[in-house]
Amino acid sequence: MFRYMSKRSKLEKFAAMLDFPNVYENFDARQPALTGAAGQPVELKGQWAAQHFHNANPITLELACGRGEYTLGLARRYPMRNFIGVDIKGARIWKGARMALQEGLTNTAFLRTRIEQIAYFFAPNEIHEIWITFPDPFLRNSKVNRRLTSDFFLEQYRKILQPDGLVHLKTDEPNLYEFTLETIANDPRTQLLYHHDDIYAQRLPLAELEQKTYYEELHLAAGKTIKYVQFSIC
């Protein structure tokens, strides 16, 4: 019974999202197409600011956004900026998108797609910065290319970021932290701007780091230290 109810709840959330005006979905990884409210096809590449946000404010992506805590937190803090949470998990996006609608956060949107496909949905120079908040570290060597700070993903970010666009990584995983620093060091088109392996042991270098996700709260409660890396891509 519990499994049935859980599955039913997910199906209900997926159905509800079809009517959310702040959610866009790619249902077929083989076809880089988006649908919006009421399942209508939309073309937003290069047009996110004009067609969804109806302004010219800079856009920040939160990758692997989960329930969208960072997307929402930053949107509340910076009403003159736009924020898009990206994840493949529809049930998680549903929560963040619903909360954004309830709060009237018109500077937020959510994109349900595989992150490796983001260059299909954003134009060159369209994105101002990227936040990667507690992603799956994919610790097995066979999955190294799935890490969101691998060479493959840096190339995807390079396609959509503005020149010298910023990328922020926040993680509790020391292996991902060290991997990211090594990747940056080996890429002449990236520049390491800041890093620390225990950001709460000192004064935070920027206000955005005050925002905490659900998983970060769990990690902190378990006594883990939070690492942060900031770098630019050109």
List residues with catalytic annotation: 136
Rounded Cα–Cα distance for residues 40 and 20 (Å): 12
What is the dihedral angle through the alpha carbons of 46, 34, 88, 151, rounded to the nearest 10 degrees? Answer: -40
Distance CA 15, CA 161 (A): 32
CA distance 68 to 114: 16
Q: Which residue do the tokens 């003159």 mark?
A: 80
Which of left, alpha, beta for 134 (phi over 0: left; psi -120 to 50: alpha)?
Answer: left
Phi, psi of 182 (to 5 degrees): -65, -40
Is the separation of the CB atoms in 53 and 41 below 8 Å?
no
192 DSSP β-pair partners: 231
Distance CA(98)–CA(55), nearest Å, equals 22
